[in-house]
């Protein structure tokens, strides 16, 4: 398919099956039906949702029924904001914007023998690269999300394009070097969903991958910039311009503006390159999902037996996790019973990725010599 032509990815039953399975799992449930209807912005059409609740979306008949509801122009699609803490909000993206980025990414990434996906297909990053790009390039997709790093490396074929995120890239590089697993020739990679540490990007290249493209963006903005050298700044996608003291993006052709989620600054000798200096909203990323420690602390403060809370990230091996320091309202409380109570409270209110893995109790929140909050 040439650029500018109308995409019909949803007419590919395999692509559609992979997407809806990522959205809703394998078994038909009302919650799964609602997730599928929300993604395709079909909430105002009760027919499709009712069909989804009553049929198995792995069958050809169901796929054909959904295909009949989708227009050739793709319409709007709704992506959740990276699983952010609190109530993830859907962000509707018009097909014209998805197609614009797809055109650019097809040129940037170039041809591939196969797409190897290590990310969910229904997040905007996974949808762009595990659904749209393989359809555009006319290549198959290998979903290897359930495999360990050594098995992923063993399954790679020359010319593959691997879609991952920083933590899996770190694991792949370490396994390749420490375990002596060779990387097939001309295998390239893409990383997104969280900042990729420079040492991880360098380790991926040293492990034998031909290229690693780091993408910067979000569900709200879609793609903003890219680089394939961690020592260099990001390059803006060709249709974006920085505006308003680098807090906004303006679309060069259409004129609309979008607020940037991070603090950025121009880098280099022109206005097409920039560096990123962290989020404006205090979010961190765990397993490619935005998590807000302040929100999790607020949930813990809502328990009547807790007087004060601090929540911080910590490194658990190769994985970033959360820990919480809790001051009981009754300093003489049975801490073992209180721990069980708090763990139940968290399970009822937060998804697993947002629940602190470590709970520490004490009489006062940790402070440094200057009275500022301290780690523990």
CA distance 61 to 314: 48
The pLDDT value recorded for residue 262 is 86
Q: How many domains does the chain have?
A: 3
102 CA to centre of own chain: 17
The pLDDT value recorded for residue 48 is 60
Kindly report the pTM of this predicted structure. Answer: 0.75
Q: Are residues 183 and 153 in the same domain?
A: yes
The pLDDT value recorded for residue 294 is 84
Q: What is the pLDDT along the chain (376 residues), one digit of tens a residue?
A: 444 445 678 888 888 988 998 988 877 777 788 888 889 888 765 566 566 666 677 788 888 888 877 765 457 899 987 544 445 688 999 988 999 999 999 999 999 999 999 999 999 999 999 999 999 999 999 999 999 999 999 999 999 999 999 989 999 999 999 998 999 999 999 999 888 999 999 999 999 999 999 999 988 899 999 999 999 999 999 999 998 888 899 999 999 999 898 888 888 778 899 999 877 767 777 877 778 888 899 899 999 999 999 999 888 776 788 999 999 999 999 999 999 999 999 999 999 989 999 999 999 999 764 455 788 8
Q: Are residues 105 and 219 in the same domain?
A: yes
Place of tokens 């009754």: 330
Does some domain include residue 370? no
Q: Are residues 14 and 71 in the same domain?
A: yes
Question: Residues near 307 by Cβ (< 8 Å), separated by ≥ 6?
Answer: 327, 328, 329
Does some domain include residue 234? yes
H-type helices in the chain, by residue range? 13-24, 30-39, 46-54, 60-69, 95-109, 124-127, 133-137, 149-155, 166-178, 198-207, 293-301, 335-349
Looking up residue 333, the CATH number of its domain turns out to be 3.30.300.30
CA distance 170 to 201: 8
Does some domain include residue 139? yes
CB 49 within 8 A of CB 31: no
HSE on the CB side for 139, CA within 13 Å?
20
The pLDDT value recorded for residue 63 is 84
The pLDDT value recorded for residue 27 is 75
Looking up residue 125, the CATH number of its domain turns out to be 3.40.50.12780
The pLDDT value recorded for residue 370 is 45
Does some domain include residue 87? no
The closest of 309, 328, 317, 331 to 376, measured between CA atoms, is: 309
User: What are the two backbone dihedrals, phi and then psi, of residue 358, each rounded to the nearest 5 degrees?
Assistant: -130, 130
Q: Are residues 263 and 331 in the same domain?
A: no
Task: Print the domain residue range for 25.
Answer: 1-75
Q: Are residues 40 and 112 in the same domain?
A: no
């Amino acid at each position: 398919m040439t650029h500018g032509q109308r995409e019909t990815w949803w007419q590919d039953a395999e692509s559609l099956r992979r997407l809806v399975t990522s959205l809703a799992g394998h078994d038909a449930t009302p919650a799964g039906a609602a997730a599928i209807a929300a993604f395709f912005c079909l909430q105002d059409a009760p027919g499709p949702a009712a069909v989804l609740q009553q049929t198995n979306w792995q069958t050809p008949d169901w796929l054909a029924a959904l295909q009949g509801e989708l227009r050739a122009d793709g319409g709007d699609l709704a992506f959740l904001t990276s699983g952010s803490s609190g109530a993830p909000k859907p962000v509707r993206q018009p097909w014209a914007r998805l197609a614009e980025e797809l055109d650019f990414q097809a040129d940037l990434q170039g041809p591939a023998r196969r797409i190897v996906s290590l990310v969910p297909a229904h997040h905007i990053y996974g949808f762009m690269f595990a659904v749209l790009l393989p359809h555009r390039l006319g290549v198959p997709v290998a979903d290897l999300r359930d495999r360990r790093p050594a098995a992923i490396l063993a399954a790679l074929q020359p010319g593959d394009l691997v879609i991952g995120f920083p933590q899996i890239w770190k694991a792949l590089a370490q396994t390749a070097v420490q375990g002596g697993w060779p990387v097939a020739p001309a295998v390239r990679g893409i990383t997104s969903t969280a900042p990729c540490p420079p040492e991880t990007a360098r380790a991926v290249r040293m492990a034998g991958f031909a290229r690693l493209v780091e993408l910067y963006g979000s569900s709200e903005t879609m793609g903003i910039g890219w680089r394939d050298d961690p020592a260099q700044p990001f390059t803006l996608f060709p249709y974006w311009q920085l505006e308003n003291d680098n807090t906004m993006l303006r679309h060069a052709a259409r004129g609309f503006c979008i607020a940037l989620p991070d603090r950025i600054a121009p880098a280099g000798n022109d206005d097409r390159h920039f560096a990123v200096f962290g989020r404006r909203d205090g979010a961190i990323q765990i397993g490619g999902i935005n998590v807000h420690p302040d929100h999790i602390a607020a949930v813990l403060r809502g328990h009547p037996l807790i007087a004060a809370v601090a929540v911080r990230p910590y490194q658990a091996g190769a994985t970033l996790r959360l820990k919480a320091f809790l001051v009981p309202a009754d300093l003489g409380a049975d801490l073992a019973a209180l721990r069980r109570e708090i763990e139940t409270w968290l399970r009822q209110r937060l998804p697993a990725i947002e629940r602190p893995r470590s709970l520490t109790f004490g009489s006062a929140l940790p402070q440094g010599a200057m009275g500022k909050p301290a780690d523990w």
